[in-house]
Chains A and B, each alone.
Chain A
Amino acid sequence: AQRVTQPEKLLSVFKGAPVELKCNYSYSGSPELFWYVQYSRQRLQLLLRHISRESIKGFTADLNKGETSFHLKKPFAQEEDSAMYYCAPPSSGGGADGLTFGKGTHLIIQP
């Protein structure tokens, strides 16, 4: 079975400090992974996907197959980054599958 783990329920850092939100996965195939974000009183939305290799709002995420990780990073945290972050695991193939989300990490950026 596919598994994704977000070990931190809560992460608090100061504004301007680096941020790393951890996500580890177990999957035997070629993973395609996502990070979703939910800001206060807003709907859950895609932040970035592994395959695009882009930086969104200063965040990047690199797939490390050796460590089976897909950690989300930002060099300098901003207060508006405070939100719930969910890592989404690889697909089992086909468009019909739902996403088995990680349990989420609540990121708090302190001023």
Chain B
Amino acid sequence: DVKVTQSSRYLVKRTGEKVFLECVQDMDHENMFWYRQDPGLGLRLIYFSYDVKMKEKGDIPEGYSVSREKKERFSLILESASTNQTSMYLCASSPGTSGVRNEQFFGPGTRLTVL
């Protein structure tokens, strides 16, 4: 089974802090994704990566950055956390077969609260 793990289930930070959310997958997937999940807004894509050191902006990248130094790890960085970044953050991965619509495998999520 594909396993996607996220470093924290719950996180509380203060406004202005730098926050790191880590995601690791163990199935050698090429693609990795970061979403935030908010009631009434569904899932919104922040960033994705289709290879090591590659990244692409999603729908809401403002205030976030990402890092993919190793294939299995995809980090989401909040440079200066703000209260409107309080949310559930979901990481996902999928195989990278080009032209094929692939299922995404999700981590358990990190609930971030910014005070």
Q: Using a CB–CB distance below 8 Å, which chain A residues touch chain B?
A: 6, 9, 32, 34, 43-46, 49, 51, 86, 90-91, 93-104
Contact = CB atoms under 8 A, between A and B. Distances in A.
A77 to B, nearest CB: 22
Contacts of B40: 9, 103
Contacts of B107: 43
B33 A34 contact: no
B45 A100 contact: yes
Given A94-B99, A95-B96, 9 more contacts: A43-B106, A44-B43, A49-B101, A86-B43, A90-B101, A93-B99, A96-B31, A101-B42, A103-B42
A43 B35 CA distance: 13
Interface of B: 30-31, 33, 35, 40-45, 48, 50, 56, 58-59, 90, 92, 94-104, 106-109
Contact of B42 (A43, A96, A97, A104): A104
A98 B33 contact: yes
B106 A96 contact: no
Contacts of A46: 103-104
